Structures are given as C-alpha cells and as structure tokens.
C-alpha cells in the first residue's frame, strides 16, 4: 500500500462547474477510476471516500465528482463531461479508466 494526494478541481459543465477531487497515488499511474454518488449524496459520501482511499493507496488514480439532480439524462451528460475532462488531461495519461458509482451514480 502507498500514499496518495488529493487535488480539488472544478470541471466545466455547460454554464456551471462540477466539483471534483482527484486522488493521486504516489506511485506511477497506469489506470484510473471515475466515481460518483447516488441521488441523495455528494462526492464526500463516506462509502465513496473509503473506496477511493483504498483504490488510490493501491495505485489507481481516482476522480470522484458531485452531480446534483435526479434526471438520468443530465447525470449521463455530466459523467460524459468528466470522462472527457480526464481524457484531455495533460497531467494524467492513463492506459485505461474504469467507471463506477453508488446507486443512481452507477
């Protein structure tokens, strides 16, 4: 197990921003995970925070974000925006990314 650092970011989404946090492992990155919460939570939901701590300490870059709203089409667009944000990142070049979430966030 290793350590990791958290970096807060705001991801442009239409005329607003999605709050997000990168959890960046101390070792070389090859893969990542994007996670979001269910309908009633946010990215700081305790189960997501615990999962991210485990994954990041085992070498996976994690990007979790908050997406308020119950409309599934809206949440799908938000998720796609976050995926594109990570793919276009100059700082984090990964071989692959897993997508996950809790409840409506999955």
pLDDT at 1 over 80: no
Distance CA 80, CA 70 (A): 16
With 80 as the cut, is the pLDDT of residue 81 above it? yes
Contact 67, 78 (CB under 8 A): yes
Q: Record the tokens describing residue 36, joined without a space.
A: 């979001």
Q: Give the CATH number of domain 4-105.
A: 3.40.50.1820
Closest-CA residue to 64 (of 97, 104, 35): 35
pTM: 0.92
Domain boundaries, the chain: 4-105
- The predicted pLDDT at position 29 comes to 82
SS (H, E, C) 67-81: CCCCCHHHHHHHHHH
pLDDT at 39: 83
pLDDT tens-digit series, residues 18-72: 999 999 999 878 999 999 988 888 899 999 999 999 999 999 999 999 998 788 9
């Amino acid at each position: 197990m290793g350590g990791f650092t958290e970096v807060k970011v705001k991801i442009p989404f239409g005329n607003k921003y999605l709050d997000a946090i990168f959890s960046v492992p101390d070792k070389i990155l090859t893969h990542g995970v994007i996670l979001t919460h269910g309908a009633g939570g946010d990215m700081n939901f305790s189960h997501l925070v615990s999962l991210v701590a485990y994954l990041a300490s085992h070498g996976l870059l994690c990007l979790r974000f908050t997406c308020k709203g119950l409309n599934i089409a809206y949440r799908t667009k938000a998720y796609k925006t976050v995926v594109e944000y990570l793919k276009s990142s100059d700082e984090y070049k990964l071989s692959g990314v897993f997508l996950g979430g809790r409840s409506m966030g999955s």
